[in-house]
Structure 1
């Protein structure tokens, strides 16, 4: 299946019709054992242990997961209780680009209104070049009001700012820079794919027209039947992507037990869930393992051995 009109990284993401990636941090700090270790280490609630992140990112690349996704959490707010993967998004993507070879690198999502737009473009192009065209640039308007005054930005104007920055990213500064002035480097891909998280304070029609794919919030397959149909009604065949909070249980036949944003299940239940997601119109799922009670590396190896081959070619 080829999509010549889509950016190269998007073509790779949906080349088999459906693919499986991972949402960082690759830490199970939301599990009972992980929570105990967090307390013993003196980390804040929602602050993961990043000591093994490089080893696990390399392992994910080697095992054939299709994409690594990172969130942009500029400031830790205890009211949200989640520090993301802690590292600054573009700096971290540059590091990941240097230690992996094949896996796509996605943001889910960069908060555009908090960032200087020209530097966002330069950072995105740098990552795309360093990774040989593996960047998927997920973008958002942001949902943490405390950040905006700290960054000197207007929370109520974030929708307008988001639209303006999308225009800049699409035109790559053309018509704004003085004659002869260039923003270098240029991206490796002809155009960096722009994926939106939620609606970013925009109308569905505007989002469907101006963005290359949708990063949908986690939900059940039944949820995604309706959401993916809604997306296709405004965006045609542009990719529909979502995430699952997974606790992969030891017993392969352990029945699925749903929790917020995902489920605890054995690998057979995971395969059934992913098949249902694919039938519901989802084209890529990022697995979030912070609830996982088993060691993350062990879960990755089992998923790679038994689940990935059911859905896509492992490079």
Structure 2
């Protein structure tokens, strides 16, 4: 079953208002624990590397909401692997989404992404619909096949079959969210609540062991790894070609270490850059011209306080790009 076209009264219409537009979000945790000072604080606190300091997470999420960012994104790390290192935002995504729904008012709430084969799709459908109701229709459900092989035997799931598990789960969730008319002859078993949106938008992070054609036919958007604009262009062109007459938004992430000097040039880092706000504006403009609809900024490498980076980008970079009026 194919997913709905973008828009149609959903959070997707706020994330990707139309062709040629770019919106900006932020990826949780809103911590700079991978900066020089952040690593020092991590060691002093006795935290393992990759486990962020969450003391100010609620205030920073609320700040991003007030400043006009379009979306907050969080990850699904069911089991922390010290060898893998990154614990994401630590909290399980679904109760955390409920918490963020109460802590914010306008910003979209997205997952990037739920490791779908490790969860029963009916549980995911119910939790996602619950969050969508609690947030007044602000949920974007990013999904994936998962990237940590040790988790699969722990959950009793066959790693080799994760691609089929993703396809089955998407079908089951779409059916669970579909309105069911009242029928004569007795009650109908169904998932409650229904989403606040017509359906919960589904976005694939990576390919989820699927073909591009399957993604375009069954999902509402695609999250791809960060690339500089010159390298992103062929990726975006292939995605738009596969989507055909029903374009689906292309999303990406970017690590940002925002320099104090507004004119500081681009210095590449893994999956992002150290740069001033002028170069950041140019960099994002390049991604926009490629056809990228949304960029989630990640501040874990930021040498400056997260609040400072959020405020400067909101003041000088956000106004440059098209998107919904969030003032």
1:83 alignment counterpart: 87
Q: Structure 2 vs 1, CA of residues 307 and 173 (structure 1 numbering), >3 Å: closer, same or farther?
A: closer
- Which of 236, 252, 255 is the aligned partner of 2:265? 255
- Which of 5, 8, 11 is the aligned partner of 2:10? 8
Give the gaps of 5 or more residues in structure 2: 179-185
Contact 1:107 1:138 in 2 (8 A): yes
Instruction: Give me the whole-angstrom Cα distance separating, in 1, the residues matched to 2:8 and 2:42.
Output: 42
- Report how far residue 179 of structure 1 moved: 5.3
Give the CA RMSD over aligned residues: 1.7
1:131 alignment counterpart: 135
Instruction: Give me the whole-angstrom Cα distance separating, in 1, the residues matched to 2:15 and 2:101.
Output: 17
What do residues 10-58 of structure 1 show as CA deviations (whole Å, max 9, x unaligned)?
Answer: 0011126210000000000000000000011111110000000000000
Instruction: Give me the whole-angstrom Cα distance separating, in 1, the residues matched to 2:86 and 2:243.
Output: 31
- Which of 287, 302, 305 is the aligned partner of 2:315? 305
- Which of 196, 210, 232 is the aligned partner of 2:204? 196
- Report how far residue 267 of structure 1 moved: 0.4
- Report how far residue 314 of structure 1 moved: 3.6
> What secondary structure, in the 3-state scheme, does the structure 1 residue paired with 2:140 have?
strand
Contact 1:7 1:193 in 2 (8 A): no
| Match status 1:180 vs 2:184 | no
- Which of 57, 64, 70 is the aligned partner of 2:68? 64
Contact 1:104 1:135 in 2 (8 A): yes
- Report how far residue 62 of structure 1 moved: 0.3
Contact 1:308 1:314 in 2 (8 A): no
- Which of 152, 157, 166 is the aligned partner of 2:156? 152
Q: What TM-score do you get using the length of structure 2 for normalisation?
A: 0.92
Q: Structure 2 vs 1, CA of residues 198 and 149 (structure 1 numbering), >3 Å: closer, same or farther?
A: same
| Match status 1:266 vs 2:276 | yes
1:112 alignment counterpart: 116
Q: What TM-score do you get using the length of structure 1 for normalisation?
A: 0.96
What do residues 226-284 of structure 1 show as CA deviations (whole Å, max 9, x unaligned)?
Answer: 11111112223110000110000000001110111000001001001010010011010
- Report how far residue 80 of structure 1 moved: 1.5
| Match status 1:52 vs 2:56 | yes
Q: Structure 2 vs 1, CA of residues 197 and 6 (structure 1 numbering), >3 Å: closer, same or farther?
A: farther
- Which of 196, 201, 208 is the aligned partner of 2:216? 208
Instruction: Give me the whole-angstrom Cα distance separating, in 1, the residues matched to 2:296 and 2:60.
Output: 15
Instruction: Give me the whole-angstrom Cα distance separating, in 2, the residues matched to 1:118 and 1:14.
Output: 28
Instruction: Give me the whole-angstrom Cα distance separating, in 1, the residues matched to 2:86 and 2:187.
Output: 44
Give the gaps of 5 or more residues in structure 1: none
1:217 alignment counterpart: 225
> What secondary structure, in the 3-state scheme, does the structure 2 residue paired with 1:136 have?
strand
